[in-house]
Copies of this chain bind each other. A is one copy, B any other.
């Protein structure tokens, strides 16, 4: 194996230990416990799992958490009412609306109801606007994209002046991570399903971010030797030998690409754990602002 491994699980644990220590101090000094609310609408199994994982992690590091849950047929008004309550709840410093929402709801409108001060997911249109603009600072950066940058930083990988290629342009990962890489002075190329000669484009990358949700799409000859490869994909693949009947696989053909890349994240165990770590970090940040410790 040529590539060195970027161990997201270990880096996320280090961050969570830092956060837990800060929470202890915050409680002792200000009597304040950071609180996270995860709003879940409907019965999407993956969403239920994510929410449970977040709650478990909150408990582990001493963060207060609640998970208001609405039925799949909840009305727009009902969901917005929950958001409005949380906006004024002094025990809650961060509000996360678990996506995707059921199709009959207006996602954009619901996300824009979250108070900017509690938008720890960074998905309020104003925060995305500030993320995109030069010299503007969003109140929070979206968690998965911020987790990717943190992985690079904590691994000592330089971003400035590098060619970054982002595969995928979703609102949740591809677009915002492109904006963060640009703010860090990378030369950024955004690719997608309409891109021609995709392997030739990804081969230019010093830093390649794969966020398309296609099982092992990125092959060895898509990667420049020595490049940094970050795999955001988490795709379930049937596997009768696995206990649950499936296993999770990334967007990158890990076995082949690790022979070419300089650095690589596994998936699972790479970006995934960082998303929750950054969510907790943003909630702590919000609580510190409330306490007047930070702007």
What is A's interface to B at a CB cutoff of 8 Å?
108, 112, 124-136, 160-163, 169-171, 175, 179, 182, 185-192, 194-196, 201
Contact = CB atoms under 8 A, between A and B. Distances in A.
Contact of A126 (B126, B170, B192): B126
Contacts of A126: 112, 125-126, 129
A189 B130 CA distance: 20
Total copies of this chain within the assembly: 2
A45 to B, nearest CB: 24
Contacts of A133: 125, 128, 171, 175
B160 A194 contact: yes
Most buried by B among A131, A179, A187: A187
Contacts of A187: 189-192, 194-196, 201
Contacts of A125: 125-126, 129-130, 133, 136
Contacts of A201: 163, 187
A136 B160 contact: no
Most buried by B among A125, A126, A131: A125
Contact of A132 (B175, B185, B194): B175
Contacts of A196: 161-163, 187
